[in-house]
Every structure is written in C-alpha cells, then in structure tokens.
C-alpha cells in the first residue's frame, strides 16, 4: 500500500472519469481524499488533459513531483471512441445543448460515411466549439456562448492519424479516432456532418488511450478512494 511520501514524491494515477464529472472535480476529489487519508496539509495534484463532463474515460492524474510531467502527457496522442448522430446539430456540438437544426439524411449511404473519413485524415484545420473552455479576452468561450454574444474563433491545426467507423446503426455512427493534442471530437462530429451535406452532433465520447496509457488499466474514483483506506 502506498504511503503519504509516495504521493508527495509523485504518482501517476489512471482514473476512469465518470459521466457528468468535470476533470477539475476529479482532481479536487482525489486531492481531498489523499489529504484526508494521510493527514497531509498540502499536496500538488493535477490532470494531464481535460475531458468534457459528457465524456468518460481515461484521465491521467499526477501527484507531487510527477505534476512536472503533465505537459509531456498532454502532448501525447489520444484515442477516443464514441457516437455521432447524423441529421441534426446542436450549438455545443454535443448533448449539452438541445437540437437547433435538422438536416436530410436520405442521401447518406454507408459507403459515403466510410469515404468521408478520408477528408479528415492527416493535418487539418479545425474550429473549436464556441461552447469550450478556451480563453479569449480573459473570458472562456462558453461564457460568451451562454450570454448569446458573438465571438470570433480562430481555427487550430490538429492531426488525425486514425479515423475509422466501427458500426453504423441508423443515424448513429460509432467511431474510433486517434488524434493529436488540441483536437475537439465535438468539432469533428460537426464538420463530419457538414462533409456529408447534412449535420451531425456528438452523443457519446470515451477516451481510451493517452500515449501508452490505456483506460483498461484505470480505476473509478470510488475504487481508488476505497484503496486509500
């Protein structure tokens, strides 16, 4: 069993983030539990790459001296699985907001769906969602969006090394993507819908890998906390 000094010297914790939790909440919860378990007044704890509340999966949490490695982990490629729903869009590009527009899908074939993935392979330009935590003029983009204020968003250069459609079930397209730091899968869903001459939004997302770390080796926050006692 790990001791207080082990966490202070530095640990890499692989956590399977639950649905609706923010990454910040996960870090705060684990920091508090570690402090309580070992009666530590202060300890550095941070995560290596945000996951949206509506996403689940691998969250790398570093403690103590290992927090110095966070930037290294953040820069590694990430793998995601999830589901696009074609035929409709939302302002947030996912289920955080309600459907705002609907589009025809009768022209979309399975072959077209598979072929369209090729448009997004390699280095691409991508606009982040307006409902995101990126800062502009000292404010988060989602603050502008929720206030109904228009804001100019600059595109980002990202890289997608693998993009495959795993199954198609009606309007639900299940996928797997391997991509670089800074890639928004919500934006990929939105752009994919446009490329189909329709619309799409993200309905489910799970991060399965960061570099060589895999979600199969992660534990839930509850299981981690149980092992502290």
Q: What is the pTM of this model?
A: 0.92
List, in order of start, the domains of the chain with CATH numbers. Answer: 4-75+212-228 (3.30.2350.10), 78-210 (3.30.2350.10)
Phi, psi dihedrals of residue 116, rounded to the nearest 5°: -65, -25
- Which structure tokens are listed for 20? 């609706």
Q: Are 62 and 48 in contact (CB under 8 A)?
A: yes
| Residues that are catalytic | 52
Q: Which residues of 112-146 are buried (b: 16+ CB within 10 A; e: fewer)?
A: ebeebbeebeeebebebbbbbebeeeeeebbebbe
pLDDT string in tens for the chain (229-residue length): 899 999 999 999 999 999 999 999 999 999 999 999 999 999 999 999 999 899 999 999 999 999 999 999 999 999 999 999 999 999 999 999 999 999 999 999 999 999 999 999 999 999 888 766 666 666 666 666 566 666 677 889 999 999 999 999 999 999 999 999 999 999 999 999 999 999 999 999 999 999 999 999 999 999 999 999 7
């Amino acid at each position: 069993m790990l001791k207080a000094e082990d966490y202070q010297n530095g640990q890499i914790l692989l956590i399977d983030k639950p649905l609706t939790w923010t990454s910040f909440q996960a870090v705060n919860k684990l920091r508090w539990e570690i402090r309580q378990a070992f009666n530590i007044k202060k300890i550095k704890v941070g995560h290596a790459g945000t996951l949206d509340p509506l996403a689940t999966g691998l969250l790398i949490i570093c403690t103590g001296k290992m927090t110095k490695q966070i930037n290294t982990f953040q820069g590694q490629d990430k793998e995601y699985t999830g589901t696009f729903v074609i035929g409709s869009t939302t302002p947030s590009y996912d289920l955080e907001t309600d459907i705002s527009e609907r589009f025809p899908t009768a022209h979309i074939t399975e072959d077209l769906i598979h072929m369209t993935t090729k448009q997004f392979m390699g280095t691409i330009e991508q606009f982040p969602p307006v409902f995101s935590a990126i800062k502009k003029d000292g404010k988060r983009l989602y603050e502008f969006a929720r206030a109904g204020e228009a804001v100019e968003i600059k595109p980002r250069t990202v890289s997608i090394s693998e993009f495959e459609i795993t199954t198609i079930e009606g309007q639900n397209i299940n996928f797997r993507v391997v991509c670089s730091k800074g890639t928004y899968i919500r934006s990929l869903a939105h752009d994919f819908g446009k490329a189909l001459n329709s619309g799409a939004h993200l309905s489910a997302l799970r991060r399965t890998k960061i570099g060589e770390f895999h979600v199969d080796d992660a534990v839930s926050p509850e299981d981690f906390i149980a092992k502290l006692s």
